[in-house]
Amino acid sequence: MNRIEDLAALDLEVYSAAWCPDCRRLEAWLAEHRVAYRKVDIERVPGAAETLERETGKRAIPFVKVNGGRWVRGYHKELPQRLDGDLLVRELLEAAK
């Protein structure tokens, strides 16, 4: 069973920007569940946007880099609420394997 508590073992970097509503939604969810992460503001950190695009092939945010390796989308565009916590936990833990 995937649990939010299991995320504590992961090194999470959230690539985001202040103007992004999906980013604010993800960061609020992480804060609510006391999940530690480092924010990488693509508008303030030199080269961050280019790194994101080069490594994911995407310009969309938020994206979460897990343990310095795999990337996970920090939103679920196919869902009306745009973020499903249970699905996010599964995706993050799967990326850590």
Q: What percent of the chain has pLDDT over 70?
A: 98
60 Cβ partners below 8 Å, 6+ apart? 73, 75
What percent of the chain is modeled with pLDDT above 90?
93
Residue 95, beta-bridge partner list:
none
Query: Which residue has tokens 């850590």?
Result: 96
**Contact status, residue 41 vs residue 17, Cβ threshold 8 Å:** yes
The whole-number pLDDT of residue 2 equals 67
15-58 pLDDT per residue, tens = 999 999 999 999 999 999 999 999 999 999 999 999 999 999 99
pLDDT given for residue 59 in this prediction: 87
Structure tokens at 69: 């390796």
Tell me the CATH number at 85.
Answer: 3.40.30.10
Domain membership of residue 76 as a residue range: 4-95
Number of compact structural domains in the chain: 1
Report if pTM > 0.85: yes
Which candidate, 14, 41, 42, places its Cα nearest to that of 28? 14
d(CA 97, CA 94): 6
Say whether pLDDT at 1 is over 70: no
CA distance 48 to 4: 27
